[in-house]
Structure 1
Amino acid sequence: MTGRTGARVLADMLDGYGVTHLFHVPAILRRTMAELEQHHPHIQRVVTHGEKAAAYMADGYARVSGRPGVAAAQIIGALNLAAGLREPFLAGSPVLALTGGRSPATKFRHVYQEIDDLPGFDPVTKYNATIDDAGRFPDMLRHAFRVATTGRPGPVHLQIQGNEGQLDTALTDAGPLVEPRFAQVPPVRPGPLDADVEAVLQLLDNAERPVIVAGGGVRSSGAGAELVALAELLDIPVATSANGKDTIPGTHPLSVGVVGTYSRECANEIVGRADLVCFIGTQTGSMTTHFWAVPPIGTPAVQIDLEPAELGRNYPLRASIVADARAALRRMLALAGTSARASWRDECDRLESAWRERYREVLTSDAVPIRPERIAAELTAGLPGDAVLVVDTGHAGMWMAQFHDITAPGQDYLRAAGHLGWAFSAGIGAKCAAPDRPVVVFTGDAGFYYHLAEVETAARRGINLVTIVNNNAGGNQSKRGFDRAYGGQATEKSREMWNYRDVDFARIGEEMGALGIRVDRPGDLAKALDQALSANRPVIVDVHTDIEVVAPPAVS
């Protein structure tokens, strides 16, 4: 034996893969934590107040940096961590989860806190495996990074023997071995076949009303510039999924907004009128297509995706390309001619202008309590060109998808794939990944409550993100659903199922070490945002809004 511990191997490999933060709930891999402190002190060990929050932080970190985020928990918290992996699994985000596991010497003897939780990771990971010998740390960790970053990215899980992963104290002859190309998404860029590219271009050229729907695959490929260039060359309007919102600025003349269920009305109208839809890097799931009504099944379609199994899954295709999004778009740019579609562009411009006129009053409203649309407009106007905006699901996702615009190619937009409460913890991880960029979270009070304790984490670690809470003392996205359940209008008593106490989150933030700013009047929003962005400390901006205002439903 060389005297090298599994902990030293693990610590050296995390460093070799460029990991800068490890989000965890003690106690897990104690010896590894000590090795990190001694040999790799730049890797920050961020202790959270919950395993699910740790997974969300790792997810936010991964989405901003493109590098796998790392989260860890001992065996008793493993399934809490697994619950947090649902989000990066649905979003296609590379996260490495490390947990403790059972020891063969004590299996089936009622060891304290022990349960076989390995099966719980199967539905939410691309790879789920155990490490039962210290000599396997190098090859298992390498494979985990490889799986997390290739194809459609996603979470992986390694269960390390011992309730706290004590296998890391064992000695091994194995040394660290790193494959640097798998430290970043995408590690490889499969190129397209020219015949496939030419077939797609021919269909686009022949279409009178084509539209592109760009998804999260365009984002993870870093293909936003190529997407915009192709749209300009072919004169094709671009709608995006919520995951792909930052692949084209919302202020670009060809951008028509987010399509689907959490969508901008004109985007659905335009995609619904298209005679050819080009899906790029999107799974064409229910949220992007409003349950396959936008566009209707049967609309002529082409699709570009890295995963062959996704081609034609939900829409029959006239042609398709299997390739990395950026590689495919670059080849399309090389082979395409120019096109002009003045009448189609005029029709799209009319629909978008009509939408903006229809909602101009609420976007600029001075009403008190504040309308959420006004918050979205202020974020469009006030966020710096390099800002990261992290958005919760539910009403928060609806308000931002419909009424906020990305204004610069350098802005990032991260949205929850479906888990309320994700955004605040993910924002902490995003700020860890991009400490020199402004990171702004938008959530409601219902979402903020989930992981409120992590305000202390941000304050303790000096993670200086800005969190804007749409505080209407309720989860009023439920209002419309309860009205339906009651046959038209819910009873007053039904409000007990979605109304909360009126809480001052600015004051709570101050008590936990953040700067708290309360906003009651819309005219104060811009000033509050400026103050928050320059505070150089965690900030909670508590915006008190109208509980009776609900987001417009999707059109189809």
Structure 2
Amino acid sequence: MSETVRLTVAQAVVKFLAAQYSERDGVEQKLFEGCFGIFGHGNVAGIGQALLEAELDDPEALPYVLGRNEQAMVHTAVAYARMKDRLQTWAISTSVGPGATNMVTGAALATINRLPVLLLPADTFADRSASPLLQELELPSAGDVTVNDCFRPVSRYFDRVWRPEQLPAALLSAMRVLTDPVETGAVTVCFPQDVQAQAHDWPPELFAKRVWHVARPLPEKAALARAVEIIRSAERPLVVAGGGVHYSGATAALAAFCEATGIPVGQSQAGKGTLLYDHPQCLGAIGSTGSTAANAIAKDADVVIGIGTRYSDFTTASRTAFQNPDVRFVNVNVAGIDAVKHSGTSVVADARETLDALTGALDGYRVPESYVAEYAGLDAEWTETVRSVFHPEVPAAGAGGLLTQAEVIGMVNELSDPRDVVVCAAGSMPGDLHKLWQTRDAKGYHVEYGYSCMGYEVAGGLGVRLACPDRDVFVMVGDGSYLMMATELATAVQEGLKVITVLVQNHGFASIGALSQALGSQRFGTAYRYRSAETRRLDGDVLPLDLAANAESFGIRVIRTKGPEDFAAAIADAKAAPDSTVIYVETDPLIGAPDSNSWWDVPVSAVAGIESTRAARKVYDEAKATQKSFLAPSLPNTEGSTR
């Protein structure tokens, strides 16, 4: 029997995590780059003490980074994991109570986006010797429930280590889920305060280097044959590329497939960059925030090939994008839940492996040249539309000479380097970026739109910079999201991470304001204004918020801009600077980006005393009538073409 290693539970956790690796295609990397944490009474003497010992022994084993907000730490880890194609991530330690539950939003974001992150919240005492504890939930109906149970529905794996003996099984199960491309998401393992500090004799094998293979499931031959038959019968096929193309490392395979067949591509938010914007088959964004080119082709597509996409409501324009009555779907995805959507013919397999197989099996097939000419013409029209909003005939055409948001996006796009990364998550900015941003590098676009979480931007920018230290990171954030979570600017200063934050002042929620107006609710409750003494409503003067001064308080250099020349100079200045910069710009929130000729299903009040709401409901009913169920199975068409 081998000698045991005597460590506390917390020390064993840290030692175990430092020895975990992932591997794909023969390439190994550390699974955990480090551990973010905020210490409180629930973890300072447990995980905190263990991290201190590890840092003193080997600072590179599991580096500790102090964050400012628990939710933000999860966002940073998720952004890092996304840039690393889900092969690496971070662990996160928090105290008991509010420190733990602050992470629930981040956990939901990670799970919805299928991105791995390990959450290690502290928990109440296992021995209950001092109950009720500070911050302990007491329920009259259950003695074993704590606030951490709210992680269960938003975690892909949940466990609580009540006794030291349970630790190995919990950790191994956690690693299995984190490294599974189908099951991955937030993994939560809770540690009662007293258990963290308990000593135990561990088998040394627990701390040996362990390599987790990330699989590439091959397509089943019969499923591939069915997909090939449907695609060969198509006259107007379209690929919808999602984030799975990135995570599989399948961008080159997608390009080869499209070049061989002539099939054009529309991209979801997560799939943007799967083809570069000027690739002949790239029609850009698709759906509610898509290009008019992609949406026009989607409308009449007879076969839609979804690759690594969840088919979210924005991607499908709430199931109104595909209007061909005979449209069929071929879905390539590692996750069965996505592969069967829209009654598609499913190929449950790795995107890269399947694309390579499809390209070979479709040898000799190519779409008609008339179709190529059609989508190329539509794409050229959209490119000209983008050029016109990036370079309007009258620059700074907003009220009072303010820049428009589209102009701001255009200047950042054109004045940044091709390998720089734009980061965004919520408000009107993600939609405008989706349709307008011209992606020149596969990793140059990072918009979180599975959860579209306000406050992700700055924290996510840190994760991107940690993952890609050789790229500049442009965080695009409106005042609404900035006020939700600007705290990680302090972490950027602490860690010497250069992030360029473009802080757009809209004096309120520009996106929801515009949506409110479109739905007949007259931008109610969406502007940052004083409460009027006369009306008792929030319709007084604009609040005197100085967000630039707020950013300066974090110790970050701020450049205030007033027009296009100022803004362009600020970008050049920020690019040349070695440290973080915030570029402050005020825009006109009433001037939007070009229309996508698309729709998004947001129900309007069926009964209203306000005329604007009644008018909006009429428009809603008309659009709702075009929504499809996609219940017919996508079977091969034996009478179709076999070009």
**TM-score range relative to shorter protein:** over 0.9
1:229 aligns with 2:251: no
Could you tell me which amino acid in structure 1 is paired with residue 181 of structure 2?
A: G
Counterparts of 1:250 and 1:72, CA distance in 2: 40
Counterparts of 1:95 and 1:312, CA distance in 2: 27
1:22 aligns with 2:35: yes
**How large is the Cα RMSD of the aligned pairs?**
2.4
Counterparts of 1:64 and 1:411, CA distance in 2: 10
Alignment of structure 1 residues 65-84 onto 2, 5 Å: 65=84, 66=86, 67-76=88-97, 77-84=99-106
Q: Could you tell me how far 1:340 is from its partner in structure 2?
A: 4.4
Q: Given that residues 11 and 35 in structure 1 are in contact (C-alpha distance below 8 angstroms), is that contact kept between their aligned partners in structure 2?
A: no
Counterparts of 1:178 and 1:428, CA distance in 2: 31
Partner of 1:96: 118
1:451 aligns with 2:451: no
Unaligned runs of 5+ in 2: 21-29, 138-145, 530-537, 599-643
Q: Could you tell me how far 1:192 is from its partner in structure 2?
A: 0.6
Q: Could you tell me how far 1:420 is from its partner in structure 2?
A: 1.4
Counterparts of 2:103 and 2:525, CA distance in 1: 38
Alignment of structure 1 residues 389-408 onto 2, 5 Å: 389-408=422-441
Tell me the SS of whatever aligns to 2:50: helix
Q: Given that residues 507 and 528 in structure 2 are in contact (C-alpha distance below 8 angstroms), is that contact kept between their aligned partners in structure 1?
A: no
**Structure 2 residue corresponding to 1:430, chosen from 445, 454, 464:** 464
CA change 1:494–1:249 in 2 (3 A) is closer
Counterparts of 1:493 and 1:466, CA distance in 2: 27
Q: Could you tell me how far 1:353 is from its partner in structure 2?
A: 2.2
Tell me the SS of whatever aligns to 2:515: helix
Counterparts of 2:303 and 2:215, CA distance in 1: 30
Partner of 2:353: 327
**Structure 2 residue corresponding to 1:120, chosen from 150, 155, 177:** 150
Counterparts of 2:179 and 2:257, CA distance in 1: 26
The TM-score with structure 2 as length reference comes to 0.80
Q: Given that residues 11 and 40 in structure 1 are in contact (C-alpha distance below 8 angstroms), is that contact kept between their aligned partners in structure 2?
A: no
Alignment of structure 1 residues 126-141 onto 2, 5 Å: 126-141=156-171
Counterparts of 2:251 and 2:566, CA distance in 1: 34
Partner of 2:200: 171
CA change 1:70–1:262 in 2 (3 A) is farther
CA change 1:493–1:265 in 2 (3 A) is closer
Partner of 1:441: 475
Partner of 1:279: 306
Counterparts of 1:414 and 1:495, CA distance in 2: 25
Q: Could you tell me how far 1:180 is from its partner in structure 2?
A: 4.5
Could you tell me which amino acid in structure 1 is paired with residue 359 of structure 2?
A: L
1:10 aligns with 2:13: yes
Write the deviation string for residues 427-459 of structure 1: whole angstroms up to 9, x where unpaired.
112212222322221111111111112211211
Could you tell me which amino acid in structure 2 is paired with residue 53 of structure 1?
A: A
Moved more, 12-21 or 87-96: 12-21
Tell me the SS of whatever aligns to 1:320: strand
1:111 aligns with 2:133: yes
Identify the structure with the greater helix proportion. Answer: 1
Counterparts of 2:266 and 2:379, CA distance in 1: 12
Partner of 1:386: 419
Counterparts of 1:79 and 1:493, CA distance in 2: 28
Q: Given that residues 83 and 443 in structure 2 are in contact (C-alpha distance below 8 angstroms), is that contact kept between their aligned partners in structure 1?
A: no
Unaligned runs of 5+ in 1: none
Q: Could you tell me how far 1:394 is from its partner in structure 2?
A: 2.1
Could you tell me which amino acid in structure 2 is paired with residue 420 of structure 1?
A: M
**Structure 1 residue corresponding to 2:50, chosen from 18, 29, 32:** 32
Could you tell me which amino acid in structure 2 is paired with residue 525 of structure 1?
A: F
Alignment of structure 1 residues 156-235 onto 2, 5 Å: 156-162=187-193, 167-175=196-204, 176-177=206-207, 180-182=210-212, 187-235=214-262
Counterparts of 2:212 and 2:525, CA distance in 1: 55
**Structure 2 residue corresponding to 1:316, chosen from 340, 343, 349:** 343
Counterparts of 1:512 and 1:309, CA distance in 2: 44
Q: Given that residues 427 and 510 in structure 2 are in contact (C-alpha distance below 8 angstroms), is that contact kept between their aligned partners in structure 1?
A: no
Partner of 2:512: 478
Q: Given that residues 505 and 587 in structure 2 are in contact (C-alpha distance below 8 angstroms), is that contact kept between their aligned partners in structure 1?
A: yes
**Structure 2 residue corresponding to 1:258, chosen from 270, 285, 304:** 285
Q: Given that residues 389 and 440 in structure 1 are in contact (C-alpha distance below 8 angstroms), is that contact kept between their aligned partners in structure 2?
A: yes
Moved more, 148-157 or 236-245: 148-157
Q: Could you tell me how far 1:492 is from its partner in structure 2?
A: 11
Counterparts of 1:148 and 1:109, CA distance in 2: 34
Counterparts of 1:442 and 1:178, CA distance in 2: 42
Q: Given that residues 131 and 161 in structure 1 are in contact (C-alpha distance below 8 angstroms), is that contact kept between their aligned partners in structure 2?
A: yes
Aligned length: 548
Counterparts of 1:469 and 1:416, CA distance in 2: 19
Q: Given that residues 512 and 523 in structure 2 are in contact (C-alpha distance below 8 angstroms), is that contact kept between their aligned partners in structure 1?
A: no
Could you tell me which amino acid in structure 2 is paired with residue 320 of structure 1?
A: S
Could you tell me which amino acid in structure 1 is paired with residue 555 of structure 2?
A: G
Write the deviation string for residues 359-392 of structure 1: whole angstroms up to 9, x where unpaired.
4332213113011112222233233233222112
1:56 aligns with 2:75: yes
Q: Which has the larger radius of gyration?
A: 2
Counterparts of 2:459 and 2:542, CA distance in 1: 22
Partner of 2:639: none
CA change 1:327–1:486 in 2 (3 A) is closer
Moved more, 207-216 or 384-393: 384-393
Q: Could you tell me how far 1:485 is from its partner in structure 2?
A: 5.5
Could you tell me which amino acid in structure 1 is paired with residue 403 of structure 2?
A: I
Partner of 1:147: 177
Q: Could you tell me how far 1:513 is from its partner in structure 2?
A: 1.3
The TM-score with structure 1 as length reference comes to 0.92
Q: Could you tell me how far 1:422 is from its partner in structure 2?
A: 0.8
Q: Could you tell me how far 1:223 is from its partner in structure 2?
A: 1.0
Counterparts of 1:371 and 1:100, CA distance in 2: 46
Q: Given that residues 427 and 465 in structure 1 are in contact (C-alpha distance below 8 angstroms), is that contact kept between their aligned partners in structure 2?
A: yes
Partner of 2:23: none
Q: Given that residues 163 and 195 in structure 2 are in contact (C-alpha distance below 8 angstroms), is that contact kept between their aligned partners in structure 1?
A: no
How many percent of aligned residue pairs carry the same amino acid?
25
Counterparts of 1:210 and 1:491, CA distance in 2: 43
Q: Given that residues 386 and 412 in structure 1 are in contact (C-alpha distance below 8 angstroms), is that contact kept between their aligned partners in structure 2?
A: no
Partner of 1:467: 501
Q: Given that residues 287 and 321 in structure 2 are in contact (C-alpha distance below 8 angstroms), is that contact kept between their aligned partners in structure 1?
A: yes
Moved more, 392-401 or 289-298: 289-298
Could you tell me which amino acid in structure 2 is paired with residue 238 of structure 1?
A: V
Partner of 2:535: none
Could you tell me which amino acid in structure 2 is paired with residue 425 of structure 1?
A: A
Could you tell me which amino acid in structure 1 is paired with residue 335 of structure 2?
A: E
CA change 1:469–1:22 in 2 (3 A) is same
